[in-house]
Structure 1
């Protein structure tokens, strides 16, 4: 482990280990602390990882919708490993180049430092259209909710195919995403509660029509309190209607585009995710 990464891990542990280790559920306010030069260097290091560490592939599901994807495989293949599915946001990552969607989340879980302690397959599908749409619930809640598009069903079929062909621990399949991808995390958990052991939604928009299905799955919401692109009030309403049975980190002084900092990078998310297992 490099000295840079070690410094990042120590800073994160001091800030958040108590919150994640002692509390499975509940709301936690996180102060906005300015990143040091050292931390910014580590974030840049994650972003600069060579995309060739991911294999390129494509899959066509029953709906005849082609999904291009990248897949990271652990070095040893004779053991069962978890699978982490990472969804990208909207904008430039949407497309078919099978490259632009490899952002900081995808590379974080595939980075040598994280893989050394949390080895796993990392699946990064690329959507050629939006994966989730937003609708205003103006009659009851007056907040946005998300609805997934058919392309997400092809991703589920891809995961089922990978389960049959790779040495994946079926009790430890996780889903993580940012922005539109965070919304798609909640859509995925509600649509296939049989498949996923846990999910982390970062700066996303949830859904409200399948709360009973979602209540059985560990969920971690992370949202900037100053987010004007995907307002936090949807996640706040979701947290309330889930009877506070989710982990909800509210990041003070944080907007939509500056949510990635040392507060949630490093080992923070893998440490929580990899504790979760399907019964």
Structure 2
């Protein structure tokens, strides 16, 4: 490679990274603070947003690695999906990425280690919400008071820790959501009864060595026991980052936004 070619390639690479960074700036910064609750979030409004209209809203919950207080890392996975021109034209929606603090967790779950040194997930049946979940619930209630939010088209989705939080939100707000998706998450099987009527699409990599795939399949199986037909997509060769394949599925977002509460 010639010196000139190398320089041009470097410039193009830097320009591309800059454009991507600028795109993420389309997500406005916000926070919710009330009493002891505080949570940061990024929000993407539809193009040509009109506060006199009503829009669907999607809350997206990130994984453990994106926790913090910088109000930035939670955009690492998934944020670019909603910036695509096709999506913005076809599905004018409000997208919210809240950020979980590092000293908390979205879901009410206890951790342990098995004999092989792998993490165990002990999901709780019921129980009080974590500090992050309590703040998240307050933030969502606050959004529901906005006149531009369509109450019949409220959605939630997440990956890993965020998928665990998604299940918890579904049971704590079982009358709120029109549909949800959960990528490589898990929940206590006894909680499934509480969100059995909410359309749900579950994704997981069969080679996941962080969150075992069985944590997703038992939820799907329990829904079938309860007479429901959940959507379950397993990726035979995917490890924990099954969200890459899920986000690439062209049917995900059309399916999600096609669901609407009847009352």
Partner of 1:207: 188
The Cα of 1:212 is off from its aligned counterpart by 2.1
Partner of 2:253: 270
The Cα of 1:106 is off from its aligned counterpart by 2.7
TM-score (normalised: structure 2): 0.79
1:86-235 counterparts in 2 under 5 A?
Answer: 86-91=60-65, 93-128=66-101, 129-135=104-110, 144-147=121-124, 149-235=130-216
Unmatched 5+ stretches in structure 2: 1-16, 113-119
The answer to whether residue 234 in structure 2 is matched with residue 250 in structure 1 is yes
Unmatched 5+ stretches in structure 1: 1-43, 138-142
CA separation of 1:126 and 1:81: change in aligned 2, threshold 3 A: same
Partner of 1:70: 42
The Cα of 1:195 is off from its aligned counterpart by 1.5
SS of structure 2 residue aligned to 1:97: coil
SS of structure 1 residue aligned to 2:78: helix
Partner of 2:219: 238
Residues 183-208 of structure 1, C-alpha deviation per residue, up to 9 Å, x if partnerless? 11111101111211111000111232
Residues 234-253 of structure 1, C-alpha deviation per residue, up to 9 Å, x if partnerless? 11111111115311101111
Whether the 8 Å contact between 1:68 and 1:96 is mirrored in structure 2 is yes
CA separation of 1:46 and 1:79: change in aligned 2, threshold 3 A: farther
Paired residues, number:
229
Partner of 1:82: 56
CA separation of 1:220 and 1:112: change in aligned 2, threshold 3 A: same
Task: Let me know the Cα RMSD of the aligned residues.
Answer: 2.5
Structure 2 CA distance for aligned equivalents of residues 211 and 76 of structure 1: 36
Tell which has more relative contact order, 1 or 2 (C-alpha 8 A, sep 6+).
Answer: 1
Structure 2 CA distance for aligned equivalents of residues 188 and 60 of structure 1: 19
1:31-70 counterparts in 2 under 5 A?
Answer: 50-62=23-35, 64-70=36-42
Residues 214-250 of structure 1, C-alpha deviation per residue, up to 9 Å, x if partnerless? 1111111000010010000111111111115311101
Structure 1 CA distance for aligned equivalents of residues 241 and 230 of structure 2: 23
The Cα of 1:46 is off from its aligned counterpart by 10
SS of structure 2 residue aligned to 1:240: helix
Structure 2 CA distance for aligned equivalents of residues 115 and 171 of structure 1: 19
Whether the 8 Å contact between 2:159 and 2:243 is mirrored in structure 1 is no
Larger Rg computed on CA atoms: 2
